[in-house]
Amino acid sequence: MAIDILINGQATNTFPVDDRGLQYGDGLFETIAIKNGKLLCWDSHLERLVISCRRLQIPFTDLIALRQEAELLADKHELAVLKIIITRGQGGRGYTPPANPVPSRILATYPWPEYPTAIREEGVATIICNSRYAINPLLAGMKHLNRLEQVMARMECEELSIREGIMLDINNAVIEGTMSNIFIIKNKQIMTPELSQCGVKGVIRKYIIDTHDVLIKSINIDDLMQSDEIFLCNSIMGVWPVTKLNDKQFKIGALTKLITQLFIKQGYII
């Protein structure tokens, strides 16, 4: 499915089986939009990657090679997706990392997903998934490779032919979509869940927080259901208005439209 793959700078599609990415999900990833040969929001993606490596104590420092390889792959494409995986590298049996781990970097380009453009005008129908996020500040916010919760939640969406599902944590707090962050608007106040206990701090979420008056707070199901507008976002899909959540209809409101337009103008959304 990948177009090009570079593993530690080499064009190959195979990987050492003793890499800790496979053995323990011991690593993290980024998913980046390529538009006209450029990597959108590169600095934000790189910042999250570096911060997450530090939190996981993965001594990844090949930032120059990473940048060069990412640009090399991006240069070929008008529109594509770049996925970067950084793992702690090869290791022995057992959870203990080697004394001096040599991290692996995997860069792969993929075709741009064929989301109908109508989604932006007509919105999406969503559900609240049964699969929940565990609560753990140790791993919260990072785009690490331990993603079984989202995989399980995605399977629920697929079974119902729903484009996106909304995930709660085990205490019923609203966290995010299975592949997106969530924003709600009530009385013109934009709000998004605080993600100190679980979830992924997305690059587009950060951009919206940095450029708008956003209240970051704990959001429960009642807040969600009683909001005036709901939208979802990620680096590839951009902004998706929610027009149905379980059995309730929602309108695409003025603020959601404004943010969508801003993104289109800035070139953040294709």
Distance from C-alpha of 84 to C-alpha of 15, rounded to nearest angstrom: 14
Strands 164-168 and 124-128: parallel
Contact letters for its own copies, residues 210-249 (x by CB under 8 A) = ----------------------------------------
The smaller minimum CB distance to its own copies, of residues 93 and 265, is found at 93
By the rule CB under 8 A, 31 interacts with its own copies: yes
Contact letters for its own copies, residues 148-167 (x by CB under 8 A) = xxxxxxxx-xx---------
**From 37, 51, 115, 147, residue interacting with its own copies (rule: CB under 8 A):** 147
How far, in Å, are 1, 116, 144, 169 from residue 176 at the CA level? 27, 22, 16, 9
φ/ψ (deg, to 5) at 52: -70, -40
By the rule CB under 8 A, 65 interacts with its own copies: no
109, 143, 201, 260: the catalytic one is: 143
In DSSP terms, 11 is beta-bridged to 6
The smaller minimum CB distance to its own copies, of residues 95 and 265, is found at 95
By the rule CB under 8 A, 14 interacts with its own copies: yes
61 assigned to active site: no
Between residue 91 and residue 120, which ones bind its own copies under the rule CB under 8 A?
Answer: 91-97, 106, 108, 110, 113
176 assigned to active site: yes
Q: For residue 89, what are its two tokens?
A: 């590298």
In DSSP terms, 141 is beta-bridged to 200
CB atoms within 10 A of CB 62: 15
Nearest distance from residue 49's CB to its own copies, in Å? 16
Q: Could you give the 3-state DSSP secondary structure of residue 246? A: coil
Nearest distance from residue 169's CB to its own copies, in Å? 9
Distance from C-alpha of 147 to C-alpha of 166, rounded to nearest angstrom: 15
Nearest distance from residue 187's CB to its own copies, in Å? 34
The amino acid occupying position 163 is: R
What is the per-residue DSSP string for 227-243?
-SEEEEEETTTEEEEEE
Q: How far apart are the first and last CA of the chain?
A: 21
The smaller minimum CB distance to its own copies, of residues 157 and 166, is found at 157
The smaller minimum CB distance to its own copies, of residues 7 and 185, is found at 7
The smaller minimum CB distance to its own copies, of residues 95 and 247, is found at 95
Contact 175, 169 (CB under 8 A): yes
List contacts with its own copies (CB under 8 A).
1-2, 5, 7, 12-26, 29, 31, 56-57, 81, 83, 85, 87-88, 91-97, 106, 108, 110, 113, 131-139, 144-155, 157-158, 170, 178-179, 198
List the catalytic residues: 31, 143, 176
